Amino acid sequence: MIMKPIRFSQRLDLLPPYLFNELDRMKVEAVRQGVEVIDFGIGDPDRPTPGFIVEELCRQAALGQNHRYPSYKGMASFRQAVAEYYSRRGVTGVDPDTEVLTLIGSKEGIAHLPLALIDPSDVVLVPDPGYPVYLSSTLFAGGTPYFLPLEEQNDFLPDLEAIPEQVRRKAKLLFLNYPNNPTTACANRDFFEQVCAFAEENRVIVCHDASYLDITFNGYKAPSLLECERARQVGLEIISLSKNYNMTGWRVAAAVGNRDVIAALLKIKMNIDSGVFDPIQKAGVAAMVRGGRPDPDTMAAYAERRIMLLDCLDQLGWSYYRTDATFYIWVRTPAGQTSLDFTKQVLQQYGLLVTPGVGFGKKAEGYIRFSLTLPTDRVAEAVKRLLGR
């Protein structure tokens, strides 16, 4: 008997094409043609996790009592370390028991939050450009996305006052991300105060993705949403150990904020996952307590690569948006060229793979993104190619 074609869920049809599959195809084809590709595409730290964190994982993994199911909400010691992290930032009084929830990476928390908040008639305010999971999680929860354009003339901050009244009435969740991926834009305290006022007035829950909060340069310190007094009443912030400590594969993060939202997200997680492996959380405690800030050697490497590449772009006359945060560089495409066309040109002409902006939304058209998460000698080689040396 020949099996009939499988009927997949209609929600899969709602998802836009995943551009990064096309980038992988382009890279494979270039390599097949003999090109030594230097990949500036993915934002995955190239340096290893600091040794003291790995050692703590190994020590904890050898203990049999750590092999059982972990707590759904996360270990008390990890949640306490998160609260202490915020205290060092001047955010006091975070209750690790009710206002902190351990996540299997920030992506998991972002993906599950709409399931706890959104019904089919609800609107989610999604930044454009933005991390693709803001949109996909909205669609999976049956919500309706309303895209907030992030324009360079407004420093890639959304104009909350421009949101129509009929949209505000239905809006239930607002996603934000500063320092921003992919634009590298930063938000100040005044903007976050406006966000809190908007959320209070319109009864909207704010989810601030702060994955790049500590990846900053030249003495700049990015503010946390939670530094605003009202923030823990209107929403939550998600922090991740992935970028700070080169722990992308470890999958550990935390949601911090409104206790009712935390409880709702926990209820979703209790029915979907079984928490983060205890030794990983204990290694995370070591990172946050002993390390306390991003790995200094990694940050020094990013700073060196950043200077090298920005100097090269200046010599080429390529235009870019400059801030002192994230390990990305957001470069404008030449007039009349789409981001995908320029990506293909850069790959064909120089053997460099970058990310076309259109992969992050319609408003990201006209830009490409370089990531600094590749070895410094490869950045140096890329600079040589770009400058024709």
pLDDT band with cut points at 50, 70 and 90 for residue 166: very high
Residue 83 lies in a domain: yes
In one-letter notation, the amino acid at residue 127 is P
Check whether 16 has a pLDDT greater than 90: no
For the segment 261-298, what is each residue's pLDDT rounded down to a tens digit? Answer: 999 999 999 999 999 999 999 999 999 998 678 989 99
Residues 123, 174 contacting (CB under 8 angstroms): no
Convert 27-63 to b/e letters by CB count within 10 Å (16 or more is b).
beebeeeebebbbbbebebbeebbeebeebbeebbee
Taking only the tens place, the pLDDT of each residue in 217-246 is 999 999 999 999 999 999 999 999 999 999
Q: Which domain holds residue 319?
A: 10-48+295-387
Mean of all residue pLDDT scores within the chain: 95
Residue the block writes with tokens 């009939």: 4
For residues 77 and 142, membership in a common domain is answered with yes
Asked whether residue 145 falls in the same domain as residue 211, the answer is yes
Question: According to the model, what pLDDT value does residue 279 have?
Answer: 98
**Is there a domain that residue 183 lies in?**
yes
Report pLDDT for 182: 97
Q: Is residue 51 predicted with pLDDT exceeding 70?
A: yes
Q: Which has the closest alpha carbon to 358: 10, 2, 18?
A: 18
| Domain C-terminal end among 291, 324, 352 | 291
Average pLDDT estimate for 321-330: 97
- The pLDDT of residue 157 is 98
Q: Measured in whole angstroms, how far is the alpha carbon of residue 60 from the centre of its chain?
A: 28
Average pLDDT for residues 361-389, to the nearest whole number? Answer: 95
CATH of the domain at 279: 3.40.640.10
pLDDT of residue 9: 87
Confidence of residue 8 (pLDDT cuts 50, 70, 90): confident
Q: How many CB atoms lie within 10 A of CB 248?
A: 17
Residues 220 and 323 in one domain: no
* Pair 179, 79 in one domain: yes
> Which pLDDT value is given to residue 23?
82
Say if 259 falls within a structural domain.
yes
Same domain, 205 and 86: yes
In a domain, 321, yes or no: yes
Q: Is the pLDDT of residue 2 over 80?
A: no
Same domain, 181 and 326: no
- Residues 15 and 70 grouped into a single domain: no
Confidence tier at 14 by pLDDT (50, 70, 90): confident
Predicted pLDDT at 160: 97
C-alpha distance across the termini of the chain, in Å: 63
**Tens digits of residue pLDDT in 139-165:** 999 999 999 999 999 999 999 999 999
136, part of any domain: yes
Domain boundary among 291, 311, 340: 291
In a domain, 379, yes or no: yes
pLDDT at 95: 97
Residue 29 pLDDT > 80? yes
Quick: pLDDT tens for 119-129: 998 999 999 99
d(CA 358, CA 342) in angstroms, rounded, equals 11
In this structure, are 316 and 181 located in the same domain?
no
pLDDT exceeds cutoff 70 at 26: yes
- Cα 211 to Cα 326: distance, rounded to the nearest angstrom: 9
Supply the pLDDT for residue 64: 95
- Would you say residue 2 lies in a domain? no
As a whole number of angstroms, the distance between CA 191 and CA 171 comes to 19
For 97-117, how does the pLDDT look when each residue is reduced to its tens digit (9 = 90+)?
A: 999 999 999 999 999 999 999
- Give CA separation, 378 vs 37, 235, 294, 371, in Å: 10, 41, 22, 12
Let me know: does 227 contact 178? Beta carbons within 8 Å.
no
Residue 59 is predicted with a pLDDT of: 97
Asked if 241 and 375 sit in the same domain, the reply is no
Determine the pLDDT at residue 159. 97
Could you give the angle at which helices 132-140 and 106-117 cross, rounded to 10 degrees?
Answer: 30
- CATH number, residue 338: 3.90.1150.10
Q: Which of 333, 361, 310 is nearest to 147 (CA)?
A: 361
Q: How does residue 15 score in pLDDT terms, banded at 50, 70 and 90? A: confident
Encoded tokens for 303: 């700073």
| Residue 1 confidence (pLDDT) | 63
Residue 42's pLDDT band, with cuts at 50, 70 and 90, is confident
Q: Answer for the pair 23, 41: CB distance below 8 angstroms, yes or no.
A: yes
Q: Coil, helix or strand for 133? A: helix
> For the chain, how many structural domains are there in total?
2
Contact, 26 vs 347, CB < 8 A?
yes
